[in-house]
Amino acid sequence: MNRKMIFRILGNIIMFEGAIMLLPFLVSLIYKEHTAIYFIITAAVAIAIGYILANLKTENRHIYAKEGFIIVALSWVVVSLVGALPFYISGEIPNYIDAFFETVSGFTTTGSTILNDIEALSRGMLFWRCFTHWIGGMGVLVFVLALIPKSEGQDMFLMKAEVPGPIVGKLVSKVHMTARILYGIYAFLTVIEIIFLLFGGMPLFDSIVHAFSTAGTGGYAIKNSSIAFYNSYYIDMVVTVFMLLFGINFNLYYLLLLKDFKQIFKSEELRWYILIIAVFTGIITVNT
């Protein structure tokens, strides 16, 4: 097993997590919150540790299926351990285990929460909490692969270990380009949802964080009553439609861009997805 390459890749992941914490840091600055300092401290520590690990010297830079699965498993644990720090050191979630649970729920897009009063969190923490949904929605390693071009030619083992589903394939010749295409589509849909929510009268900050949560299909909100707070059928429908759209295999969106409608209609996964939603929506509607 190539342990040094495992640590090198985990180091890159930790560095990127530190880098993306600059976004909630900026949000905290915009809203003049004291929590900004906790994001910059965590980011600095994460980048420093990640840099050390990412620069371990090794002659063998190849990874295979075994390393791929280990990297994926460890990456989810590591990003959650680091991601929980701003909640904990700021005191907004005073128990580290609770902060870790909230972060794991975010990155895995589970959506469970230990918080009784979500609105008590600062804007920066609310942004970070929902942003973990957005990152986790496509997968932490897919996000990293989209931003870090690899030269070892072993990226497919990471992609196969990370992405759920019966078949994982490359859309183009390079895996990191595949990841960029997928995240490009993912980001585009997110922006479109933000625009639709703005048209419904939702404030900009609220629109952004709710779009993050919808994209991850996890359901984190910034109000104790969730979407019901806005009392808007329009907003309910926008979130519902985009939740369904984000649940579709993103390879199919790429085929849509290529106008390969034949392959899309042949997708058994898509047909079952639509059928299951239609049937159970009907059952729940009748029951209600």
* pLDDT at site 142: 66
- Tokens 């980001």, residue located: 187
pLDDT score of 64: 64
Q: Which of 179, 177, 153 is nearest to 64 (CA)?
A: 153
Type of residue numbered 184: G
104/126 Cα distance (integer angstroms): 15
Cα pseudo-dihedral 97, 103, 109, 115, rounded to 10 = 70
Return the pLDDT at 175: 57
Q: Are 124 and 24 in contact (CB under 8 A)?
A: yes
pLDDT digits (tens, 9 = 90+) for 123-154: 999 999 999 999 888 776 666 565 554 544 45
Residues 6 or more apart whose CB falls under 8 angstroms from that of 280 comprise none
DSSP H helical segments within the chain, as ranges?
3-20, 22-30, 36-54, 65-83, 85-89, 96-107, 123-138, 140-147, 155-162, 175-199, 204-215, 233-246, 250-257, 261-265, 268-287
Distance CA 176, CA 158 (A): 11
Distance between CA atoms of residues 38 and 89, nearest Å? 7
- The mean per-residue pLDDT over the stretch 25-52 comes to 95
Task: Write down the pLDDT at residue 74.
Answer: 87
Type of residue numbered 250 = F
Structure tokens at 29: 């600055």
User: Is residue 77 scored above 70 in pLDDT?
Assistant: yes
Pick 65 or 242 by higher pLDDT. Answer: 242
Task: With beta carbons less than 8 A apart as the criterion, state whether 98 and 114 touch.
Answer: yes
Outline where 21-95 has alpha helix (H): 22-30, 36-54, 65-83, 85-89
**Three-class SS state of 229:** helix
Compute the average pLDDT of residues 25-54: 94
